[in-house]
Chains A and B, each alone.
Chain A
Amino acid sequence: AQSVTQPDARVTVSEGASLQLRCKYSYSATPYLFWYVQYPRQGLQMLLKYYSGDPVVQGVNGFEAEFSKSDSSFHLRKASVHWSDSAVYFCAVSVGGSALGRLHFGAGTQLIVIP
């Protein structure tokens, strides 16, 4: 079955520490891959996206993600987190075809940054 899995419901890190949020997908073809962030009481905002080319893609606010076809993963990373990064992060895929424009989201990972 097609799915997007974010295995960590909650991640807690200290300010200044590095971060990795995990995402694995299960689709028959390589989909478009996205990371979105949701700050409290706000809608989702896209951080970055990937479809082809360099497997490491840069996003906003120092975030980057690495695509691995062999591992079917698209993990999000940041070298040094700030307290303002505290939010819920969603991995999402878009598969095209008849589902054009339809995003499938993972369950989300809540990031808590301790000052």
Chain B
Amino acid sequence: DPKIIQKPKYLVAVTGSEKILICEQYLGHNAMYWYRQSAKKPLEFMFSYSYQKLMDNQTASSRFQPQSSKKNHLDLQITALKPDDSATYFCASSQDRGSQNTLYFGAGTRLSVL
């Protein structure tokens, strides 16, 4: 059974709309992350959370807003969607936010913006 659940697996949106990507982890981890993988760039770090607090934000645009309603949830709200936002978004988690920690990834949400 997958320990990190991302929903939906596929998402099609129109330019200018808003979508929320869901992530839940059942590994008992304290740190969660979002990464983005697009055709043009390698896997990019977006955010890290530790104990539901934002620790690191490498996303230039405020259109991307992570939301942590529970310790094992880290959703990603994207507003005013653009075609360049088309990518696969991966949620990940680790025991703690340490350099040596293994990250566990979900299967991703593939977003297409038309």
* A interface with B by C-beta (< 8 Å): 31-32, 34, 36, 41-46, 49, 51, 90, 92, 94-96, 98-108
Contact = CB atoms under 8 A, between A and B. Distances in A.
A103 B105 CA distance: 12
Contacts of A41: 107
Contact of A94 (B35, B43, B99, B108): B99
Interface of B: 4, 31, 33, 35, 42-45, 48, 50, 55-56, 58, 90, 92, 94, 97-108
A102 B56 contact: yes
A43 B90 CA distance: 7
A49 B100 contact: yes
Nearest to B90: A43
Contacts of B100: 32, 49, 51, 94
Given A31-B99, A43-B106, A44-B90, A103 B45 contact: yes
Given A44-B90, A96-B99, A98-B56, A105 B43 contact: yes
A101 B98 contact: yes
Contacts of A31: 99
